[in-house]
Amino acid sequence: MYPIRKFLLITLAVLALGGGAAAVFMQLQGTHELPSHATVIPTPMPLPEFALLDHAGNQFDRQSLRGEWSLVFFGFTHCPDICPATLQQLAIARGKVLAADGGQSKSFPQIVLISVDPERDTVEIMREYVANFGADIKGVTGDIDELKKLTAALGIFFEKSEDSSEDYNVAHSAVVLLINPKAEFHALFSAPHDVENFVNDVPILTGS
């Protein structure tokens, strides 16, 4: 797994030693269940202003993440392994949770793939790609500078390889972020991912 930025890791480590993590622990303990894999952000972090496009060509910004929970993964359509595997795991987890909850769509967050390769990942390509993982997955792409506003704030790493061919690779963080209905960074799932981790932890974290 590629690391998220050092400042985020340091912040989480410091909070884990202090009262912030303890407060989160006590709050979750009141639900009689604790997430087994996710790392909870003691004080959810508001997302920055940014403007991208979803796979339907509509603007996708901070406001687009308000009003519902979202699981956000940063990847790209030419990714050979971790991206399709993670999206498949999220889609399977969503199906399991919905089946157990009588098909209530709000019982599992929307799934969002944000491309770290907007040079190749056009709106049309994102639309075709996310369709492979179900109708409820949203693909997002757009201007590289707008993307960097978001990734820098969230501590997401990505870097295009120096390969000059069209088959270049993009190294990137493999975390899945949980964004709350206030458009705040609420928790993260670190790789390697597992379907059951999402099935167990997401309903606990979202209170669904």
CB-CB neighbours of 67 under 10 Å: 10
Task: Write out the H or E segment, with its range, that includes residue 186.
Answer: strand 184-189
Sorted by sequence, the CB contacts under 8 Å of residue 94 that are 6+ apart come out as 108, 111, 134, 136
Structural domain spans, the chain: 6-206
pLDDT of residue 62: 98
pLDDT of residue 185: 98
Residue type, 112: V
Q: Quick: pLDDT tens for 11-26.
A: 444 344 344 444 444 4
Matching CATH number, 6-206, of 2.40.160.40, 3.90.1170.50, 3.40.30.10, 3.40.50.300: 3.40.30.10
Sorted by sequence, the CB contacts under 8 Å of residue 40 that are 6+ apart come out as 21, 24, 28, 186, 187, 205
Query: Can you give the pLDDT of all 208 residues of the chain as single tens digits?
Result: 444 444 344 344 434 434 444 444 444 444 457 788 999 999 999 999 999 999 999 999 999 999 999 999 999 999 999 999 999 999 999 999 999 877 666 779 999 999 999 999 999 999 999 999 998 899 999 999 999 999 999 999 999 998 878 889 999 999 999 999 999 999 999 999 999 999 999 999 999 7
- Give the separation between CA 154 and CA 139, rounded to whole angstroms: 18
pTM of structure: 0.84
pLDDT of residue 135: 84
CB of 112 within 8 A of CB of 138? yes
DSSP classification of residue 171: E
Strand partners, 170: 160
CB of 171 within 8 A of CB of 161? yes
